[in-house]
Amino acid sequence: MALKMVVTDLDGTLLTSADTLSQASVDAFVALKKRGILPVVATGRMYREASFAAGAIGATRFFMGMNGAQTLDLHSGETIYDQALSAQAVRDIVRVLDELAVFYQIYTRDRVYVRPYWMDNLAASGMKAEYLRRFAAGILPFTDSDALRAVKLFILCREREKQQRLRACLAALPAISLVASHHHYFEVLPRGLNKGVALRHLCTRLGIALAEVAAIGDSDNDLELLSGAGVGIAMGNAFTRLKNIADHIVPSNDEDGVAYALNEIIPRYL
């Protein structure tokens, strides 16, 4: 089947390590859209954090955000698919994270929250400078997680020992899944939810077969996305697990890997 849709991850894939867009990748997406191929972003970010990139590549119709927890029709404003964590699950997760003293963010459908003591010290969190430049002003404090309808949690943890404790503690919670979106970035989602689930819902909505989709990614949270798509493309900087299941491997996100995929690989499937 000829491809009808190309889905790309953002961090570690379309975005460089400095959290910026390559003009070559933007140009390649724009050219592909002119040929009738639908570009879609599938990311751990909410739309507000991803709109600068989605808009640049022309992915302005549909959006799969927060690792599959929210799929939007950007034209109508309709939520095609969404899920949230239970209040009890969030309480259990927050207890673990506070005990480990790691930085984390709680994502609702349209807001990001952190503990009050991080509000004046976000630069020490380890978040990328470009992310903070764009979005720090919109981050809000929280004291009671029950007051939030949490969709996912983002965790930044660089220490290997803490990562092991984090995995062990959260593995004991039955209602959630923990996935890595970077070597020290982790995402907590409702169990069974992933980008692959979101892709199936979107394809059903559009009448597009999974075989007519190409997906590009780099991390564990892209695993189901790439394995479910007709053509799976892993970045050169991708986790080994992703490279092992990919149909193609392209240069890294700092070497115009997405542009290479769109210019050299995707045309073979059109």
How is residue 240 written in tokens? 């080994």
Grade residue 183 by pLDDT with cuts at 50, 70 and 90: confident
Mean pLDDT score of the chain: 95
Question: pLDDT tens digit string along 75-119?
Answer: 999 999 999 999 999 999 999 999 999 999 999 999 999 999 898
| CATH 3.40.50.1000 domain extents, the chain | 5-82+193-269
Of 175, 165, 166, nearest in space to 90 by CA: 175
Residues of the chain with CATH 3.30.1240.10: 87-190
Predicted TM-score (pTM) of the model is 0.93
Residue 231 CA to residue 148 CA, distance in Å, equals 38
Question: What CATH number is given for 5-82+193-269 in this structure?
Answer: 3.40.50.1000
Report the candidate in 191, 194, 193, 160 with the shortest Cα–Cα distance to residue 176.
Answer: 191
In angstroms, what CA-CA distances link 139 with 111, 186, 210?
A: 7, 18, 36
Select the CATH number that applies to the domain covering 87-190 from these four: 3.30.1240.10, 3.30.70.20, 3.40.190.150, 2.160.20.60: 3.30.1240.10
